[in-house]
Structure formats: C-alpha cells, structure tokens
C-alpha cells in the first residue's frame, strides 16, 4: 500500500478513531519503536495504550529477563499469550507487543482474529543502533549483535508479513511513523 506524505487533520483523525472497532496491535522486531510509537498513536486517537511486556511484568512481578532466566522462553511465551488474550478482550486500544509475540502461531492467530495488527518494519542497522542502547533483551545477550538481529529479523519476517498493514519505522522522528500509520489505517478501514 502506497501512502502519500500528507498528514491527517484533527477532524480526519477523530473520524478515523470512530471507525476503529477493535484493538490496534503493533507487531515487529524489538527496537522498532512499538511502545514509543504506540503511545503517540494512542494519544492522537484518544485510545488507551497498553504494552504487553509491561503487563506481563506486572502480572508476574518479575522482569521479562527474569522470567526468561528463571523459567525459559516457552513459559514466557505462554504467559505472553494469556496476557495478550486478556488485553484483546477490552474495547479498542493500541497494544504494543514484544518482538516474538506475533511469531508464535497461537498468539498470531488470536491477534489476527481479534485485533488489527500493524507490522512496524525497520532496517537492521537502525534496529541494532536502537537495541544496543540498553542490555535488557534476553534474546540479544551474548554473540554478535548485528548478526543476531539480522538472523531474528529474517526468521520472523514471514510471520510479521501476515499483518494486513505494514509501515516503515525509520531513523526519522516517531511522529512521521505515526502519520504513516494513521494514513495506512485510514486507507485500510
């Protein structure tokens, strides 16, 4: 879908928000900006925002890294699926998911059925720049960071590609990505 460069007006954004009947679910690689962009998108659409990783940490009373370290990835993915299922029961909202959530077949099917997934995509170099700022992502510990990010991106792209909307998140301001999402939503709905 080709998106023009114009920004939607306030009245167009309000009209768009009125047409949203289910949660908007941001999917994509870690570091693509799902949480930051999601907060801005939710604010513009006057919708609640939730970050699945934050909700998981609150429910478990542990960080994502601690869950991975103590119980392993399969345990984390099961809890993630249950938290996302709960969040999809709520009225329309913007939901940022963890990078691996949409890759899990059961979670992906649930999001496709009950939400409106938007794949935020980004080049590997930008992802590496962003994720190298903090060392809190369990799947990126040890090894060659650029190689790991490139491998994960290549492995996950077929799943992300099932999202009906794809928007690029580049090195420009997050507001530009939010504008592209709004335009894509307006065209899709």
Residue-range definition of the domain harbouring residue 78: 10-188
List the CATH number of the domain containing 42. 3.40.50.300
Asked if residue 3 belongs to a domain, the reply is: no
Asked if residue 153 belongs to a domain, the reply is: yes
Output the pLDDT for position 142.
66
- Given a cut of 80, whether residue 143 has pLDDT beyond it is no
- Given a cut of 80, whether residue 6 has pLDDT beyond it is no
3-state secondary structure at position 79? helix
Output the pLDDT for position 68.
87
Asked if residue 1 belongs to a domain, the reply is: no
Question: 79, 59 in Cβ contact below 8 A?
Answer: yes
Q: Label residues 34-59 b or e (16+ Cβ within 10 Å = b).
A: bbbbbbbbbebbebebbbbbebbbee
Output the pLDDT for position 58.
93
How much is the mean pLDDT over the chain?
89
- Given a cut of 90, whether residue 155 has pLDDT beyond it is yes
Asked if residue 124 belongs to a domain, the reply is: yes
Asked if residue 171 belongs to a domain, the reply is: yes
Asked if residue 46 belongs to a domain, the reply is: yes
Output the pLDDT for position 27.
98
- Span 95-103, mean pLDDT? 95
Per-residue pLDDT of 43-90, as tens digits, reads: 999 999 999 999 999 999 999 889 988 999 899 999 999 999 999 997
Report how many domains make up the chain. 1
99 or 2: whose pLDDT is higher? 99
- Given a cut of 70, whether residue 134 has pLDDT beyond it is no
6 or 11: whose pLDDT is higher? 11
Measured CA to CA, the distance from residue 66 to residue 69 in angstroms comes to 5
Asked if residue 5 belongs to a domain, the reply is: no
- Given a cut of 50, whether residue 177 has pLDDT beyond it is yes
Asked if residue 4 belongs to a domain, the reply is: no
Measured CA to CA, the distance from residue 44 to residue 109 in angstroms comes to 28
């Amino acid at each position: 879908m080709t998106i023009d460069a114009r920004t939607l007006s306030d009245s167009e954004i309000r009209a768009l928000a009125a047409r949203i009947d289910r949660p908007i679910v941001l999917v994509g690689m870690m570091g693509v900006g799902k949480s930051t962009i999601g907060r801005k998108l939710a604010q513009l659409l006057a919708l609640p925002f939730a970050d699945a990783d934050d909700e998981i940490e609150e429910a478990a009373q542990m960080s994502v890294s601690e869950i991975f370290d103590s119980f392993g990835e399969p345990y984390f993915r099961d809890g993630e699926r249950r938290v996302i299922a709960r969040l999809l029961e709520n009225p329309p909202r913007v939901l940022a998911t963890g990078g691996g959530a949409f890759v899990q077949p059961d979670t992906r099917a649930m999001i496709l059925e009950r939400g409106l997934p938007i794949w935020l995509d980004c080049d590997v170099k930008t992802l590496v720049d962003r994720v190298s700022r903090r060392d809190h992502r369990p799947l990126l510990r040890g090894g060659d960071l650029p190689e790991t990010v490139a491998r994960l991106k290549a492995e996950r792209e077929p799943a992300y590609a099932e999202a009906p909307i794809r928007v690029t998140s580049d090195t420009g301001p997050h507001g530009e990505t939010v504008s592209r999402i709004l335009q894509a939503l307006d065209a899709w709905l």
